[in-house]
A and B are shown apart, each in its own frame.
Chain A
Amino acid sequence: AQSVTQLDSQVPVFEEAPVELRCNYSSSVSVYLFWYVQYPNQGLQLLLKYLSGSTLVKGINGFEAEFNKSQTSFHLRKPSVHISDTAEYFCAVTVDNYGQNFVFGPGTRLSVLP
């Protein structure tokens, strides 16, 4: 079975600074990887996904992530954050085309400070 680790439970960063949110996964087979964002009291919104092809994927709101198979990582980055990026970010992994096999990490709370 696969698992996801998000090492940082909270990441405070000043506005306009760069940020990296870390995600590592464990799986014995090939994976598909996702980042979701959750704003307070809301559901999860898809930020970006890696299914195949280029290991650098770009998503909405200026975020990007890089799949590194050798390091089993899928870190999320943004070169300059805004106050509106304050939210919870979840990394998720699946091994097939079925949503019930998603495994989510515990989340990282990004707080952007003025």
Chain B
Amino acid sequence: DTGVSQDPRHKITKRGQNVTFRCDPISEHNRLYWYRQTLGQGPEFLTYFQNEAQLEKSRLLSDRFSAERPKGSFSTLEIQRTEQGDSAMYLCASSRSGPSGNTIYFGEGSWLTVV
């Protein structure tokens, strides 16, 4: 049983550039989540998919952020026109639906540094 995998693990980009992160969830999990974590803080919810449908977005997810899960498997998170305030770790997590849906499993995270 492979865990949640994320790519790339680290990304340094110049302000104004676009970046994209990929997440591959645990294979039998139909729910997928994106969280953001800044230094000294716990993760904050960004968005959530059930299969290919994006069911919820946090107000933290500005218009420059877009997430997709086109076939209900892997997901991408794109940040357009990056700003220094976007520097954070972006965590992907997945879970099953149903009674065990409240146990989420995280990937290793993708660190973004905007310079």
Binding site for B on A (CB under 8 A): 4, 9, 32, 34, 36, 41-46, 49, 51, 90, 92, 94, 96-102, 104-107
Interface residues of B (CB under 8 A from A): 4, 6, 31, 33, 40-45, 47-48, 55-56, 91, 93, 95, 97-109, 111
- Decide if A43 touches B109 in the complex (CB within 8 Å): yes
Cα-based distance from A51 to B4 in the complex (angstroms): 23
A-B contact pairs, 22 of them (CB 8 A): A9-B40, A32-B102, A42-B108, A42-B109, A43-B106, A44-B106, A46-B103, A46-B105, A51-B102, A92-B42, A94-B102, A98-B102, A99-B31, A99-B93, A99-B95, A100-B33, A100-B48, A100-B56, A101-B45, A102-B45, A107-B41, A107-B42
Given known A99-B48, A100-B33, contact A106–B41 (CB-CB < 8 A):
yes
Complex contact A102–B104 (CB within 8 A) = yes
| Residues in B neighbouring A45, C-beta threshold 8 A | 106
Number of A-B contacts (CB under 8 A): 69
With both beta carbons as reference points, the residue of chain B lying nearest to A51 in the complex is identified as B102
CB distance from A83 to the nearest CB of B (A): 22
- Please name all residues of chain B whose beta carbon is closer than 8 Å to the beta carbon of A100 when the two chains form the complex: 33, 45, 47-48, 55-56
B89 to chain A, nearest CB (A): 8
Q: How far is the CA of A102 from the CA of B106 in the complex (A)?
A: 13
By a CB distance below 8 angstroms, the chain B residues around A42 are: 108-109
Smallest CB gap from A92: residue in B: B42
CB distance from A71 to the nearest CB of B (A): 21
Cβ of B77 to closest chain A Cβ, rounded Å: 15
Closest to B10 in A: A41
Chain B residues contacting A96 (CB-CB under 8 Å) are 102
